[in-house]
Amino acid sequence: MGPRWRLVVVGLFAGLLLLAASSLAEVASENEGKKSQGAVLGTTPCWRTGDFVVTLQCAPCTSFQSKTMPECGATGFVEQINCSASKKGEFKSCRSAAMEARLFWKFEGAMLGAAAAFALLVVCRQRLLDRKALEKVRKQIESI
């Protein structure tokens, strides 16, 4: 296996690591967004401590909401809720089905691409080993 193939393998591993790191960064930013939301309000949000009713289902944030509401920063989606205890309307970050589906297919595509790349790598390596074995047999026959 020549230096080119080693570079290809290292590149594939680096790409997979970057993909995994970006997924972890998304989760971390979502969790940090949840933590900062409580810190901005100074108290625990009512939806964490009591019952609530969803008044507006999970929807993408508008550009204005994205700039003004910290809840939009985590996922880009927000839902409006009414807490049972305080009867006041609040916004809560949420994960939409469309976003989950997009992340799922992005992951599936990355795994399919990695599987295809490694299958190609196996085929090339097998051909190389077959050539070496045939060359060895040819040299043994010539020496007789």
> Which residues constitute the domain of residue 51?
3-139
Give domain status of residue 100, yes or no: yes
pLDDT, tens digit, 9 for 90 and up, residues 23-64: 656 655 555 544 444 445 456 777 777 778 888 888 888 888
Q: Can you tell me the mean pLDDT for 10-24?
A: 69
58 three-class SS: strand
Helix axes 3-41, 97-143, angle to 10 degrees: 160
pLDDT at 59: 85
Domain count, the chain: 1
pTM above 0.85, yes or no: no
Residue 140 has pLDDT above 50, yes or no: yes
Q: For 11-25, 53-67, 125-139, which range has the lowest pLDDT when averaged over its residues? A: 11-25
Give domain status of residue 38, yes or no: yes
Give domain status of residue 144, yes or no: no
Assign residue 122 the CATH number of its domain.
3.30.720.220
Edge-first strand order for the sheet with 77-83 is 52-60, 77-83, 89-93
Percent of the chain clearing pLDDT 70 (strictly above) = 76
Q: Rounded mean pLDDT of the chain?
A: 80
Please answer whether residues 38 and 44 qualify as being in contact, where contact means their C-beta atoms are separated by less than 8 angstroms: yes
Q: Burial of 25 by CB count in 10 Å (0-12 exposed, 13-18 middle, 19+ buried)? A: exposed
